[in-house]
C-alpha cells in the first residue's frame, strides 16, 4: 500500500468519527433530558421500593410488639387492657390485626359463645383475610356451635372444608363426624372418622380420637348381648324339663335378666366413651 492510500484511509476514518460524534451530539441535544429523567426515575423507584420494604418491616415489628404486649397483659390478668390493644390492632388491619380479631374472639368465647361465633363468622366472611385463616375461623365457629348444640350451624360452617387439599379438612371431618354421631347417624359418622384414620396427613392426635370414635361406634353397631340372650331363649326352655329340679328352672329364668343387665352395662360404657370422644373433639384447635 502506497503512502497516498494510507493517507486516504486515515482521512476516511477521521471523517467517519466526526460524523458519529455529530450524530451523538444531535441525539444528546434532542433526548439528553429524557435519558437523564429515565435514570433519575429508575433511581427514585429503587429507593422508594427499598424505603417501602423498610417501612413495612418496621411497622410489622411494631405491631408484633403490640400484639405480644396485649397477650402478656391478658396473661397477667389485665384482660381489659389487653383487649383494648387487640381492638386497636384489629382496626389497623394487616396480619397482626387478623390475629388480634381471632384472639379476641377466643377470649369472648369464655363468657359468650354466641358473640364469639359472630366474631369468627365476621373473619370467615372477610374477603381481605387470607383463605387459610378464613377457614380457621370457620373451624373455630363450628366447634363452638357444636359445643352449644347447634348441629346445623356446625355442619353448615365446616362442610365446605371437607375436600382434599384443604388444610383444615381433618378437623372439619371430625366436627362433621360428631354432628352425625349426635344425630344417631352412626354409619355416616363412622365414614367420617374412617376417612380421618386413613388419611396419612392427618395429625396424630386427630387420628387417635378418630380411632376411639370408630371403636365406640362399632361397639354400638354390633349386636348387643341382650339381643343374643333373646335369640337363645328357646334353648333354656327346652333344657328346663330335662333337669326337672328347681335349680334348673331358676337358672333358666335368670338368664334373660342377666343378659339384659349386661347389655345395659355395655350401653352405659359406650355412652361414656362417646362423651369422652366428644370432649376431645370440642377441645381441638
pLDDT digits (tens, 9 = 90+) for 117-156: 999 999 999 888 889 999 999 999 999 999 999 999 999 9
pLDDT at 191: 95
State the DSSP code for 109.
T
Is residue 8's pLDDT more than 90?
no
Rounded (5°) CA angle 82-122-106: 35
The residue among 153, 159, 152 whose CA lies nearest residue 174 is 159
Give tens-digit pLDDT for 191-246: 999 999 999 999 999 999 999 999 999 999 876 555 455 444 444 443 333 333 33
**Segment of 2-11, 17-26, 27-36, 141-150 carrying the highest mean pLDDT:** 141-150
Percent of the chain with pLDDT over 90: 39
Give tens-digit pLDDT for 88-100: 888 887 788 888 9
Amino acid at each position: 500500500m502506497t503512502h497516498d492510500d494510507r493517507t486516504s484511509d486515515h482521512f476516511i476514518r477521521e471523517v467517519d468519527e466526526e460524523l458519529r460524534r455529530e450524530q451523538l451530539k444531535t441525539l444528546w441535544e434532542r433526548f439528553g433530558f429524557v435519558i437523564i429523567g429515565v435514570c433519575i426515575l429508575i433511581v427514585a423507584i429503587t429507593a422508594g421500593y427499598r424505603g417501602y420494604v423498610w417501612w413495612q418491616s418496621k411497622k410489622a415489628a411494631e405491631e408484633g410488639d403490640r400484639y405480644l404486649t396485649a397477650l402478656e397483659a391478658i396473661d397477667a390478668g389485665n384482660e381489659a387492657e389487653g383487649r383494648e390493644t387487640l381492638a386497636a390492632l384489629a382496626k389497623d388491619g394487616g396480619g397482626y390485626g387478623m390475629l388480634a380479631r381471632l384472639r379476641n374472639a377466643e377470649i369472648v368465647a369464655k363468657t359468650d359463645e354466641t358473640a364469639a361465633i359472630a366474631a369468627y363468622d365476621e373473619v370467615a366472611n372477610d374477603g381481605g383475610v387470607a383463605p387459610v385463616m378464613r377457614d380457621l375461623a370457620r373451624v373455630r365457629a363450628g366447634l363452638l356451635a357444636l359445643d352449644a348444640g347447634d348441629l346445623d350451624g356446625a355442619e353448615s360452617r365446616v362442610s365446605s372444608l371437607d375436600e382434599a387439599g384443604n388444610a383444615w379438612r381433618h378437623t372439619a371431618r371430625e366436627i362433621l363426624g360428631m354432628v352425625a354421631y349426635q344425630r344417631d347417624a352412626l354409619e355416616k359418622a363412622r365414614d367420617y372418622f374412617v376417612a380421618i384414620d386413613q388419611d396419612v396427613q392427618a395429625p396424630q392426635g386427630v387420628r387417635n380420637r378418630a380411632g376411639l370414635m370408630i371403636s365406640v361406634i362399632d361397639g354400638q353397631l354390633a349386636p348387643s348381648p341382650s339381643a343374643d340372650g333373646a335369640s337363645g331363649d328357646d334353648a333354656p326352655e327346652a333344657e328346663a324339663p330335662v333337669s326337672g329340679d328347681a335349680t334348673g328352672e331358676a337358672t333358666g329364668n335368670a338368664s334373660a335378666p342377666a343378659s339384659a343387665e349386661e347389655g345395659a352395662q355395655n350401653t352405659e360404657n359406650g355412652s361414656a366413651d362417646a362423651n369422652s370422644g366428644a370432649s376431645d373433639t370440642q377441645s381441638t384447635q
